Amino acid sequence: MAPPTATSMNTRMATEATTCTNPNTSSKVDGRGIVAKRDAKEERDAKHRQSQKKLLTNIRGEYLRMRKMIPDIRDVDGIEAMETKMLNAFDKEARDQLARRHMLLEQIADWEKAIREHQGDEK
């Protein structure tokens, strides 16, 4: 068997230097693939951090909105004003419902009257 030539040795060494076996897969990955995987992982981590930061910002904003809606417990006048406001809103809704029911009852009465008149005309 002939000894390997310098060219064949250089080619084999260059091939071994640029490829490595990835323990997670059975395929060979060149040196640039490892860097690309690391960059992709860093990018995923950055996106995850950004989404977590956005989520925390939304939670903080929601908390601050809730704090503005709920009066301070020591502010008795504020609590009474809030209760009055809620009762007025409830009363207004109740009045609106009664008005709608009254309108429906009047409409039903008109229909019944029209039906009776129509039946009287047929006789």
CA 49 to chain centre: 16
3-state secondary structure at position 29:
strand
Q: Rounded to whole angstroms, how far apart are CA atoms 49 and 43?
A: 10
- Residue ranges of the chain with per-residue pLDDT less than 50: 26-27
Give the pLDDT confidence of 53-88 residue by residue, as tens digits.
888 888 888 877 776 766 555 666 666 777 777 778
Those residues with Cβ within 8 angstroms of residue 81's Cβ, 6 or more apart along the chain or in another chain: 71
Task: Please report which helix (H) or strand (E) contains residue 50, including its range.
Answer: helix 31-69
pLDDT number for residue 102: 87
Q: How far apart are the first and last CA of the chain?
A: 125
Rg (CA), the chain: 40
Tokens of 95: 């009045």
Q: Report domain extents, the chain.
A: 25-70, 73-123
In sequence order, the β-bridge partners of residue 30 are: 19
